[in-house]
Structure 1
Amino acid sequence: MPPLYCGVDFGTTNSTVGLCEPGGMPSLIALEGEQVTIPSALFFSIEDGNTYFGRAAVFEYMDGAEGRFMRALKSILGTSLMKETTQVGRDRMTFQGLIGRFLRHLRTRLEAETGGIPESVVLGRPVHFVDEDETADRTAQDQLEAAARAEGFRHIEFQFEPVAAAMHYERSINGEELALVVDIGGGTSDFSVLRLSPDRARANDRRDDILSTSGVHVGGTDFDRQLNIAKVMPNMGLGSRTTDGKRHLPVWYFNDMATWHKINQLYTAKTLRDIQALAREAAEPEKLGRYEHLLRNRSGHRLAAQVEKAKIELTELSATEIRLKETGLSLKIPVTRDEFEIAAAELVLRIGAAIEEALNKAGVRADAIDTVILTGGGAQVPAVLSAATAKFPDARIAQSDQFGSVGLGLAVDAARKFGAAR
């Protein structure tokens, strides 16, 4: 049986694992039932002591099981949080250990699929884990590599996620193309200008074909956050004043409650006391009462999931509602696509600027781009889609597999890198 080489796309929101033999067709393995994608989420159950992953983790949390829910861990790489520990049941764990726990689950699924563990793996990485900080960016990659190595992957290479998406697309073309890859992930947006062709695809080293890369720490969870802050958090007390009208309530409580990877840090006795104290001096204490409900019932991620759901609905609809109904709290907040786009305008501008940076670094004009390759769930947001394609009216717009193209491309890259070394 020919050797299989592995690519792992550990994403902020979803993850995939690809396999490929040299010269063969890549495929994604089933990670949860028949699903080839798995939400990058963990739930540590206090009730039965088990650890749940992916959709099962989301279900346990949404169903109200008592435990600790973790999501968007990739966003923590390279930040100061990676140096801290967090309480998980009776234990305190490092965030690197939590990431390793999720990678271990992917490794287990890989072993079940192949009957063994490929020691060689290409891991995907954004162009920038951390914006404008090369030291932190390198630290983030080192942390991810250490987590993977601790789980049994011995020979580890990295590939930029947008480059991997291009490698998957390249298998479908017949001639030379100059392509711009737009990869809007859960936590980052990455852009690459590359030369693609069937002949170039046979080369093991593609560095000369990568004309430029750029990226910005903006992704789907940031769009969720801005929508949450704009439409939901004012119902929890954001923007409220004290009864004497002299000052606004501190904003960081609300910003953190709208940020996926910070929500768990709010579930402390101190934060609860702080919110109760703010309610006593707030002009609108009933709003702080809703925030207190989120803390007492650990409902922050349930609320964030409903915000994410509304964001996705606004891809097709001009208006929808953000709803959360549970004992003690009932929210029904109308939101329009226009309101969402206003809330997300600064993020879209940053994406547009990063696209311009990729073109400038490559030394090419927009009209030289033959194909724009779109990947990542965030690329479907209408304002993002417009920003990504408006400069290229004559280019072919290639809608690749939203969640699978990077994992498939990483597997292709692994087969080239490691297969050539055999």
Structure 2
Amino acid sequence: MIARLDSRAADFTARLAALAPAGEADGPAVQARVGEILAAVEARGDAAVLEYTARFDDLAVDSMAALEVPAERLQVALEGLPAAQRDALAVAAARIRDYHERQLGESWQYTDELGNVLGQQVTSLGRVGVYVPGGKASYPSSVLMNALPAHVAGVEDITMVVPAPGGELSELVLAAAGLAGVSRVYTIGGAQAVAALAYGTETVAAVDKIVGPGNAYVAEAKRQVFGRVGIDMVAGPSEILIICDGGTDPAWIAMDLFSQAEHDENAQALLLSPDAAFLDAVAAAIEELLPQQERREIIAASLARRGALVLTADLDDAVRLSNRIAPEHLELSVADPEALLPSISAAGAIFMGRYSAEALGDYCAGPNHVLPTAGSARFFSPLGVYDFQKRSSIINVSRAGARVLGDVASTLARGESLTAHARSAEYRRDAAPEH
């Protein structure tokens, strides 16, 4: 059911590589189809969005107005939730907001020895689009994690798009939108929703950045509109890597592996441990607990396709391997996680200690659950307030600065044969005599 690997085996590298996500067999077809949809929406606006919504979501309406959810509907959804759900959403929203408020960047300036004032001005994006999977799926956590950082950053216009196949909408998703400060909601999805946000239509205003998860068509659409607008990232299948010293309940670890494997058949769940007997115990727990899971077929396929229990030489070996993989979620389920933390160089989110289940991070711990996947934690970071802020450099040159820096710039510009640059600097230099 799940591969057993040994990091010291001669074939380890090859076997680990075999667990990498397979390329999309229909990649070129998806790219071409998405390109057609984007071009149609850019050219025909609302009309194309309405056509694709009727075709793909079985939701035929006469105007875009029928696809906009009234603002008061969000509050009705929130008030109509069972008290336990409403309270849980409120707690999660408060924790996420509190964490992200600590990320707010501030403008700054300083004056150098020549009297030049240099600095950075931080401002929020003007308009953001949030994509949320819809229909029978219910992902209120995605709404909170994507919209709240934008709201904290100061974004005043947050447009949410969520598909509603056959007109079906999740009350939890609408309630979360109301809690997260979403400005408006449209029941459109797929590549056509991304196109509407990127290019704008007669009804949907173009945004500065698009964030949020989606299927292969949504991911490809975000990839193709990048440059016209900003995007958060192109995310791959979910991942969890657990480093355990053997001291955690094997059932806990098995369930943590399941928590990511149940997302889809391409998700990856890895356990690294220097304790062979513990790996045996986790394998037994997997066998025992899997039949009880509602999504057992998906979990089984994920574990068989991309999962592994890996015997390592020691914990340091496990850390080295983890840094090489750069997982989306990393659990340090060990007696002293703080001792390992300084050695961790690539992970989207790091869960410290035996009680830090990754699932808590998905919903309510506070940090963002939008994380880099497929090894991109080597160079990407979690979604945060900083993704919804822009930084502009401030340069206010004094007379003394114009004289000294003008000479430096002139010399370098002439070295690059950019004489207009040089003369532009020289004009100021020559107009600012030393005395």
TM-score by length of 1: 0.26
Normalization by structure 2: what TM-score? 0.25
